[in-house]
Amino acid sequence: MKTIASLLKLSVLTLLILMSSGCKTYMYFKYGFTQPKEENPEKLFAFLEKRHFPCNNQYLFTDSSAYTKAIRNPLFRKYLFNHLIFRRDGTLLQRDTTQCQWSGYDKIASLDPDSTYDECNDLKLNQILQNIQSFGKNLYQNDVLSEPDFTIVVTWAKFLGTYNSRLFVLSEAVNLNQKSRIRLIWLNTDMQESWKLTKDQKLTLK
């Protein structure tokens, strides 16, 4: 059975492949990638504040089992360190995989509940929501959107360094959208100290 370490390593390698094939002008070392290590909500919040990244709407997986369950889903893994867009009914919108891994700003800014989009039923929003929990000093501000037209889940990680700016900029696209009620969820994917992983489960990139 694959460990959390091997799953995380696969995800990072997938990201690097996407960066080299889809956007060749950007190299992974430009963003200050670091060795993935165990984190906790306090460290993550401090990282967000220091980088001036959004501190609201922050979530992480409830435990290692929840993370493993998500990462084993091919669609979730495919869009890791990227974003997923779900309709009100929890259906995932198809993405154009020929575009850069961080593309999507224009699409998010123009999302319209009355428009037709290609959909995928292999991953539902509830499969993610039931396995995550909020963290940080500022809790989710958009709870009033109990029935949003769209929910956008953006996955990020502290070890990605400034690459995260390519992800957090999507909040601007959400603010530009005047047609839809959009719920935005920032989902952290770092290993957590509270998971109490064994030495063999921890990821070390050489």
Query: pLDDT value at position 198?
Result: 79
Is 194 part of any domain?
A: yes
Structural domain includes residue 68 = yes
**What integer is the mean pLDDT of 90-98?**
82
The tens digit of pLDDT for each residue in 15-33 reads: 544 444 444 334 455 666 7
**Distance between alpha carbon 158 and the CA centroid of its chain, in Å?**
11
Q: What is the domain range of residue 169?
A: 4-201
Query: CA-to-CA distance for 106 and 74, rounded, in angstroms?
Result: 25
Band of the pLDDT at 34, cuts 50, 70, 90?
A: confident
Q: Is residue 206 part of a domain?
A: no
Residues 6+ apart with CB under 8 A from 193: 38, 39, 40
Mean pLDDT of 57-79: 91
Please state at what angle helix 64-71 crosses helix 4-22, rounded to 10 degrees: 40
- Return phi, psi of residue 33, to 5°: -60, 145
**Segments of 28-181 assigned E as strands:** 58-61, 83-87, 91-93, 119-124, 132-134, 150-156
Q: Is residue 48 part of a domain?
A: yes
Quick: pLDDT tens for 125-177.
Answer: 999 999 999 987 655 555 546 789 999 999 999 999 888 999 999 999 999 99
**Tally of domains in the chain:** 1
CA 185/CA 24 separation, integer angstroms: 29
Reported pTM: 0.82
